[in-house]
Amino acid sequence: MDTSAFDADNSVSCLLSSIVPDVCKTEDCCLGIDEAGRGPVLGPMVYGICFCPISKKEDLKGLKVADSKTLSESERENLFQNLDDAKSFVGWALRILSPNTISTSMLQRTKCNLNTLSHDTAIGLVQFALDSGVQLKEVFVDTVGPAEKYEEKLSKLFPGIEVTVRPKADSLFPIVSAASICAKVARDHIVKNWKFAEDLGDIDTEYGSGYPNDPKTKAWLLKYLDPVFGYPQFVRFSWSTAQTLIDSKAVTVHWDDDEEDGEQAAQRLANRSVLSYFGAPGGVNNKQTHRFFTERRLKSMDTL
Amino acid sequence: MPPKKKRMPNVQNNSWVVIAADSVIDIQMKENDPTFVRLRNPATDAGSLYMLSGGGGNVQLHEVKAFEEDFRSWFVGQSVQRDGRLLFVTPMDPLYLILPYLIKSAKEGKFQPADQMVMDEEFPACSRLLSCTRSLASMHHVVDEKEVGGLKFHRYNQDKTLAWLKKKVEKTVLVLKKKNISVGEGVQSSSYIRVKMDSESSNEDYLGYAHGLISEYISKDLSKELRQHLQLPEITSPKETEPPSKKRKLSDKPVEAGEDYTKFNSGEFARKPPKKMTAAQKNLAKVDKSGMKTMSSFFRPKVKEEKK
């Protein structure tokens, strides 16, 4: 698989797609959606769609696409090749969400959780298929969050398309298995060939599976923790594994949307106690600074 | 949840980010070394930081102001500086700092040489103020002078001082107008572009604002005198800026409705269409409110429920 379009700038999200087979533009089609790399603290999350004419559903089985979790990496690689070779009736598209995109979405001021991010990406891919002229009639999705709500959301967005959301859809529907293979192959490729944007010298690539509970991953995270910057962009900062390590081992950084309880904030700002407002006026020697200076946050200095 | 972050006390820095005129840091001559000095702040009577630059007969005084906001740090070259302050070093008229010493000596009522008046055990650097360029030359703005045998003697003169300060205020007004600084009572956002420049700010607003600015450099008493001299109204005491008490004051006058509600009964009155909501309000309106109490329900008397 050629992921060079993403590798060129792995800090953003990227869309990769096959050409749309002509039959898909004329015949009624089904489409499967699945994702790879939802759990790991390292690397991108990849969303994949696969589509083919409903009449060719059985042909997919001939390509022996099965639940990708039961396959080895090389088997998946071969299956993807088979899918890509079936250009005459199978099309696919991938949305690669870089770890940096995941971090910045989840940690921005108006937080966007992973489920929302997943849903939006899936919806974007279905829309992409429609925009490319694919005659969609059926959509099969592996669930993210409660299946009914997700199904309702998608049905409302795409009237006229029959949406089926099921847990373990990747082992139930061949078209979802195919999508899952595309996504997994892409993720493996990217993680293996990750080009670090940071200058880290000869980097140790023994980061294991990338899942938080993998001891290799944990050791790698400890090794590459910078006290000021935290981690390279390869790491999802929003994962609690990364956050806990940063909180305990790196320098504390305060943002103005940090949650602070009232007492702490008051102490920091050296606020006056409420009681002081009820005391007798007068006798206060500290002069109010003119608003020209307070508005501009300018202060006289006592010492350096 | 990660453990709550703890704030560490600010540690002393040995570097600062400073904005200063080129002339201040021009150290071609060795004696030109700019130095931070602590001097008595005329407005607060406590110590504040100033900077003296230049040497010989060309010493310049500068005040040091810090731009300080929460949650700021600097990346300087290859290092991080915890202190996110930005220091401004700006030229200042040394007469402001000399003035308190002149006023203090005035109580003795005698003409004195300047170096006898400008002395301070707490801030010994104050004697350097007199070597500032034009310090002695501009002193005649605020003192009466006598020359005996080639020596100059001075005595503080309040009338002269007020006239000098008035000129300072007027000069400030010109700058405020030129720089389009909002001096009105209302709060204005600087990022909000106004199509029509507000002409509401009267000359008195400008004078008041400029007086406030100059008062940052003179004593409280002198600020009051200056206010009278400028014929500005007395400053409203902070008491009056507090919201009026809720209790209705008793008066002999007949009670009248404060607002006319009858207009709502007339046919002309039509309910205004609901205002457009912002994106945030729309989002809030979409929230599933089933099972939630309304805000107003919390403020109803509870008595009835208890009686049940």
Tokens of B9: 């006390």
Give me the residue from B43, B44, B213 closest to A292, CB to CB.
Answer: B213
Considering only A153-157, A257-261, B138-142, which range has the smallest mean pLDDT? Answer: A257-261
- pLDDT digit string (tens) for B27-56? 665 566 788 999 999 999 999 999 998 776
Instruction: Confirm or reject contact between A303 and chain B (CB < 8 A).
Output: yes
Average pLDDT over residues A257-269: 62
Contact flag B216-A290 (C-beta cutoff 8 Å): yes
Average pLDDT over residues A35-39: 92
Question: Which residues of chain A have a CB within 8 Å of the CB of B63?
Answer: 300
Size (chain B), residues: 308
Roughly how many angstroms between the first and final C-alpha of chain B, as a whole number?
Answer: 44
Measure in Å the smallest separation between the Cα of B193 and chain A Cα atoms: 18
Question: Which residues of chain B have a CB within 8 Å of the CB of A304?
Answer: 13, 16, 36, 49
Question: Which residues of chain A have a CB within 8 Å of the CB of B215?
Answer: 290
Measure in Å the smallest separation between the Cα of A274 and chain B Cα atoms: 15
pLDDT of A283: 42
Interface A–B counts its CB contacts (< 8 A) at 79
Question: Which residues of chain B have a CB within 8 Å of the CB of A286?
Answer: 44
- Do A43 and A193 meet the contact criterion of CB atoms below 8 Å apart? no
Instruction: Confirm or reject contact between A271 and chain B (CB < 8 A).
Output: no
pTM of the complete model? 0.72
Confidence of residue A63 (pLDDT cuts 50, 70, 90): confident
Q: Which 3-state string (H, E, C) describes B219-252?
A: CHHHHHHHHHHCCCCCCCCHHHHCCCCCCCCCCC
Contact flag B3-A247 (C-beta cutoff 8 Å): yes
pLDDT of A304: 77
- pLDDT digit string (tens) for B75-132? 998 889 988 899 999 999 999 999 999 999 988 888 999 889 999 999 998 988 988 8
Question: Which residues of chain A have a CB within 8 Å of the CB of B44?
Answer: 286-287, 300
- pLDDT digit string (tens) for A69-113? 678 888 888 888 888 888 888 999 999 999 999 999 999 888 888
Q: Residue B194: pLDDT above 80?
A: no
pLDDT of B306: 46
Give the residue from A47, A15, A38, A13 showing the smallest Cα distance to A233: A13
**Closest residue in A to B219 (Cα–Cα):** A287
Contact flag A255-B71 (C-beta cutoff 8 Å): yes
Average pLDDT over residues A21-34: 92
Q: Calculate ∠ Cα A262-A266-A271, nearest 5°.
A: 145
Give the residue from B95, B134, B135, B130 showing the smallest Cα distance to B116: B130
Looking only at the bridges linking them, the beta strands covering B74-76 and B79-81 are antiparallel
Question: Which residues of chain B have a CB within 8 Å of the CB of A296?
Answer: 67
